[in-house]
Amino acid sequence: MSTRKFILQAVDGYLRQTGMSERQFSMAAVRDPKFVRRLRGDYGVTLTTIERAEAFIRQHPDGCAEKGPSA
């Protein structure tokens, strides 16, 4: 399995678990609204950015308060 696919599996699992959208996660984790889209689209993503996303997942296992309003 490629590193990209491994990271995407971790992010997808986190999104399912927390109910966050890709954009919400991208903004909260790395302050880049297109991070997950770039990761999925096979565009350039730096190791530093991936490490920031992984750190966010570890530090916020239940998501974060910035998920937005509940419907």
3-state secondary structure the chain: CCHHHHHHHHHHHHHHHHCCCHHHHHHHHHCCCCHHHHHHCCCCCCHHHHHHHHHHHHHCCCCCHHHCCCC
Give CA–CA dist 35/31, Å, rounded.
8
Query: What are the residue boundaries of the structural domains of the chain, listed by start?
Result: 3-60
User: Model pTM?
Assistant: 0.83
What is residue 2's predicted lDDT score, i.e. its pLDDT?
87
**Mean pLDDT, consecutive 10-residue segments, the chain of 71 residues?**
90 96 96 95 91 96 63 39
